[in-house]
Structure 1
Amino acid sequence: MSVVTSSSFNFKSLSPSPTRPFPSWINNGDTSPSLLLLREISASFSRRSANSFLKKVSCAKSPDDYHATLKSLNSRGRFPRKSLGQHYMLNSDINHQLAAAANVKEGDFVLEIGPGTGSLTNVLLNLGATVLAIDKDPHMVDLVRERFAGSDKFKVLQEDFVKSHIRSHMLSILEGSDSALAKVVSNLPFNISTDVVKLLLPMGDIFSEVVLLLQDEAALRLVEPALRTSEYRPINILVNFYSEPEYNFRVPRENFFPQPKVDAAVVTFKLKHPKDYPDVSSTKSFFSLVNSAFNGKRKMLRKSLQHISSSLEIEKALGVAGLPVTSRPEELTLGDFVKLHNVIARE
């Protein structure tokens, strides 16, 4: 994802508009980082688009949105880091909709990945949830730790989520909790979304649902892929094996700082409990077969699976599974792959 970085700003391009003066909290005549930060944000757009952007994000009624987010960043002298995929939500209404999509309520335990300045965290805590937040950026960890220091329902860990031992963390926490299963609600850094989905979805024994704000194109690929298209991939088999995905709603790019070049979307994955997974003898061998099949996506399965069995044996297995011997991977549903795997596993 491409985002606006601090190196691309032009400080000279900004001046207050007589019809839309700067907010009073930065219109004080000083040269503090607060003023510089707002100048950098506004200068990343043309004068016309900047006014449009400010008008859109200023419409939110909650105080925990546009100015609060910018003040939080400024309090640490922070700029969003492209390397971490950081994009901060400026519209608290979206945070409320994220929480509503997961039906967060009093007594829930919620995992949040990448809390940033804590705007979504605040919504979750106000709903009565206990929140474990994980962030790779030590500056953001310090910020939210300080912000919610008075809450006994909040804990933050400085870790790279894709390398963290999240199962161990969750099991140790849930042992002393009244919650049978936890939930995940997160405005994810776009650059780790696929890794996070692969890590979380097989945890139906820990989480009941995973609600993520993802890049819109990625959300559509995960939830609504069509057979026989280039968008149909092994990740779609994984998503449907472990969950029931639902595309909730699109989030326009204007709601973020920095503004990305793409829109986002909220997706709900209702996780299946392990006892409800498709019946395969081994999930490891099942996904090994799926990945092997898609490694030769344009090839027929009797060719791409030759390292598992001979072409004749694969043809025979396809026939027993009720599939054409000329089948290609993008033509098979989850159920088809399950039947094929089980036939091959029995032989």
Structure 2
Amino acid sequence: MDSVATPGRTLALVREKGLVPRKSRGQNFLVDANIVRKIAQAAELGPGDTVVEIGPGLGALTQELAARAGRVIAIEIDRELLATLTETLAGKVNVRLVAGDALKLNFDHLVAESLGIQEGRLPTYKVVANLPYYITTPILLHLLTGEFRIALMVLMVQAEVGYRLLARPGGKEYGALSVAVQYYTEPAIALRVPRTVFYPRPEVDSLVLKLTRRTRPPVAVADEDLFFRLIRAAFNQRRKTILNALGSLEREKADLTRILARAGIDPRRRGETLTLAEFARISQAWQ
């Protein structure tokens, strides 16, 4: 089938199939072939690559991924869109459509099934997704903490969210998700995407982020669960000092004062000013 990534073809498909793009699911379809190519280029795909796409929509990006990668696994939760995808992706023998909720799926298992691997080490693979706002945080955390064999993620998110993920300590955009993304990956902006290249047109622009999985985190942490509990406590009450914010973890103030002293952290600082290394020092001192 001809490329879906044009306004005319997308509108024709929507009308022909009686589709109503759901705002609740962030269904805004890409209609610019140039942007589609740039997203696929950012994923650095070759014939030996397996790529998992979350939310293929009408298949505009899927078509491009299939032309570049050895295998594409496209996960779609909307049954009506799945029916349309079987047509827009007809003839793409290297594409597997999966009906399901990406939050509930084990990506490694999907890739292993698609590659016919029952035993042995699974090769790394890549993930490409246009993430709707309502699911960005849970999907990101699922991808980051699931211990999957993901080498690279190319994710389109709302611009505001993208800048938050890249934020450095000291600003209001910096938060717990910024720390998590920067702990597990090396994030960078691949391209900026204007709202005008979607149908229907969203209210905000987007960013495509390239998240390269780190082979090891930038800081040594003995207990990741504790590390992230400390981070969540620090950012859950942003206006409080780090001393008072950590009080929510049920430690006496005298204990917390000693912990922060051992970590070399001024107890009057706020969580949003702390670096990954400083959170790691608090975690070590806590233990």
TM superposition score normalised by structure 2: 0.90
Can you give the 5+ residue segments of structure 2 that lack an aligned partner in the other structure?
Answer: none
**2:19 is matched with which residue: 75, 78, 98?**
78
**1:248 is matched with which residue: 173, 179, 190?**
190
Question: Is 1:311 aligned to 2:253, yes or no?
Answer: yes
Q: Which amino acid in structure 1 is aligned with residue 130 of structure 2?
A: N
Assess, with a 3 A threshold, how the Cα gap between structure 1 residues 145 and 290 changes in structure 2: closer, same or farther.
same
The alpha-carbon deviation at position 170 of structure 1 amounts to: 3.5
Q: Which amino acid in structure 2 is aligned with residue 138 of structure 1?
A: R
Q: Could you say what secondary structure the match of 1:221 adopts?
A: helix
Count the aligned residue pairs.
282
Q: Distance in 2 between matches of 1:295 and 1:188?
A: 24
* Equivalent residue runs for 1:168-247 within 5 Å: 168-173=109-114, 176=117, 180-203=123-146, 205-223=148-166, 225-247=167-189
The alpha-carbon deviation at position 80 of structure 1 amounts to: 0.8
Q: Distance in 1 between matches of 2:217 and 2:272?
A: 24
**1:106 is matched with which residue: 39, 42, 47?**
47
Q: Distance in 1 between matches of 2:209 and 2:131?
A: 11
Q: Distance in 1 between matches of 2:156 and 2:243?
A: 39
Q: Distance in 2 between matches of 1:214 and 1:144?
A: 22
Assess, with a 3 A threshold, how the Cα gap between structure 1 residues 228 and 64 changes in structure 2: closer, same or farther.
closer
Q: Could you say what secondary structure the match of 2:219 adopts?
A: coil
Give the structure 2 partner of residue 286 of structure 1: 227
Question: Is 1:132 aligned to 2:73, yes or no?
Answer: yes
Contact 1:246 1:267 in 2 (8 A): yes
Q: Which amino acid in structure 1 is aligned with residue 16 of structure 2?
A: S
The alpha-carbon deviation at position 279 of structure 1 amounts to: 2.1
Q: Distance in 2 between matches of 1:203 and 1:171?
A: 15
Give the structure 1 partner of residue 207 of structure 2: 265
Give the structure 2 partner of residue 34 of structure 1: none
Contact 2:4 2:59 in 1 (8 A): no
* Equivalent residue runs for 1:291-302 within 5 Å: 291-302=232-243
Q: Distance in 2 between matches of 1:107 and 1:154?
A: 14
Give the structure 2 partner of residue 330 of structure 1: 272
Q: Could you say what secondary structure the match of 2:145 adopts?
A: coil
Contact 2:136 2:157 in 1 (8 A): yes
Q: Distance in 2 between matches of 1:175 and 1:314?
A: 52
Question: Is 1:146 aligned to 2:87, yes or no?
Answer: yes
State the Cα deviation string for residues 250-296 of structure 1 (Å, max 9, x = none).
111110011111111111111123x4463222211211111112222
Assess, with a 3 A threshold, how the Cα gap between structure 1 residues 183 and 139 changes in structure 2: closer, same or farther.
same
Assess, with a 3 A threshold, how the Cα gap between structure 1 residues 172 and 284 changes in structure 2: closer, same or farther.
farther
Q: Could you say what secondary structure the match of 1:323 adopts?
A: coil
Deviating more after overlay: 250-259 vs 288-297: 288-297
Can you give the 5+ residue segments of structure 1 that lack an aligned partner in the other structure?
Answer: 1-61
Q: Root-mean-square deviation (CA), in Å?
A: 2.2
TM superposition score normalised by structure 1: 0.75
Highest Rg: 1 or 2?
1
Q: Distance in 2 between matches of 1:164 and 1:153?
A: 20
**1:162 is matched with which residue: 103, 126, 145?**
103
Q: Distance in 1 between matches of 2:107 and 2:277?
A: 30
State the Cα deviation string for residues 127-163 of structure 1 (Å, max 9, x = none).
1331111111101111112333433311111212223
The alpha-carbon deviation at position 190 of structure 1 amounts to: 2.9
Give the structure 1 partner of residue 64 of structure 2: 123
Q: Distance in 2 between matches of 1:173 and 1:286?
A: 35
Q: Distance in 2 between matches of 1:303 and 1:220?
A: 28
Deviating more after overlay: 163-172 vs 182-191: 163-172
Contact 1:170 1:206 in 2 (8 A): no
Q: Which amino acid in structure 1 is aligned with residue 43 of structure 2?
A: A
